[in-house]
């Protein structure tokens, strides 16, 4: 079954495809002829996921889903949160975001943080939301080269390695996005019956 996923980020695409399994073929907006950046101007993860999914649905009329993720750092009152992609600059500059996060947490003892993903599925025109959370902490230096974004700084609870030091399979097994996508898959399987 084909389903449109609102991302052109190759990392995210392969993470989500791995969790969805062979029964689903993910189609990107670009493959549907949507080349412009999909608007995400809401002030919450839920709002952005809904906005992106609605946009795709209105353009294609097909079943689709969108996700939005934020890194919520306790000592920073939940920042960067919904602004995670553009924390340091206007673009998606992962290295600059990581530098700014380390700077803002310098000398801070409370390193607690969590990743939160919200997925909005639009199926036959109806919206469904799924959430995935992973708790952890921000270390004081980058470690590892796998994954993307804040992965080199985030150690999930119960582990002593960052997401960037894990294989994609390990990360998917415990990650915010993996958890949210498994809820989506459970829902899709239920409705198939």
Coil, helix or strand at residue 48: helix
Contacting ligand IMP (CB under 6 A), which of 81, 136, 149, 156?
149
Tell me how far, at minimum, the Cβ of 43 lies from ligand IMP, in Å: 14
Q: How far is C-alpha 135 from the chain's CA centre?
A: 14
Tell me how far, at minimum, the Cβ of 28 lies from ligand IMP, in Å: 14
* Residue whose CB is less far from ligand IMP, 90 or 192: 90
Locus of tokens 């029964």: 23
The closest residue (CB) to ligand IMP is: 149
| Helix (H), strand (E) at residue 27 | strand 25-27
Site string for ligand IMP, 2-41 (x = CB under 6 A): ----------------------------------------
Cβ burial of 186 (10 Å; 0-12, 13-18, 19+) is: exposed
Distance between CA atoms of 137 and 79, rounded to whole angstroms? 14
Told to check if 97 binds ligand IMP by CB under 6 A, we report yes
Number of residues that bind ligand IMP (CB under 6 A): 17
Told to check if 172 binds ligand IMP by CB under 6 A, we report no
Contacting ligand IMP (CB under 6 A), which of 19, 85, 105, 138?
85
- Residue 61 Ramachandran class (φ > 0 left, ψ -120 to 50 alpha, else beta): left
Which of 63, 67, 68, 151 is flagged as catalytic? 68
The verdict on whether 160 is a catalytic residue reads: no
Q: Between the CA of residue 12 and those of 126, 177, 192, what are the distances in Å?
A: 24, 9, 25
Q: What are phi and psi of 117, to 5 degrees?
A: -115, 135
* Residue whose CB is less far from ligand IMP, 29 or 149: 149
Residues with catalytic function: 68
Question: Contact positions toward ligand IMP, by CB under 6 A?
Answer: 67-69, 71, 84-85, 92, 94, 97, 147-151, 163, 175, 177
């Amino acid at each position: 079954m084909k389903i449109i996923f609102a991302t052109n980020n190759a990392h995210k695409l392969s993470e989500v495809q791995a969790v969805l399994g062979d029964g689903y073929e993910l189609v990107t907006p670009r493959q549907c002829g949507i080349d412009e950046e999909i608007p995400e101007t809401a002030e919450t993860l839920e709002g952005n996921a809904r906005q992106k999914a609605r946009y795709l649905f209105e353009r294609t009329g097909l079943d689709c889903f969108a996700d939005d993720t934020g890194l919520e750092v306790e000592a920073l009152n939940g920042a960067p949160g919904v602004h995670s992609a553009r924390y340091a600059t206007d673009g998606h500059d992962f290295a600059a975001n990581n530098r700014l996060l380390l700077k803002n947490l310098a000398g801070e003892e409370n390193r607690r943080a969590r990743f939160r993903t919200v997925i909005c599925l639009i199926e036959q025109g109806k919206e469904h939301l799924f959430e995935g959370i992973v708790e952890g902490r921000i270390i004081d230096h980058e470690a590892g080269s796998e994954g993307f974004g804040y992965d080199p700084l985030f150690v999930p609870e119960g582990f002593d390695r960052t997401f960037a030091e894990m294989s994609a399979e390990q990360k998917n097994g415990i990650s915010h996005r993996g958890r949210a996508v498994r809820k989506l898959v459970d829902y899709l399987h239920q409705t198939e019956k």
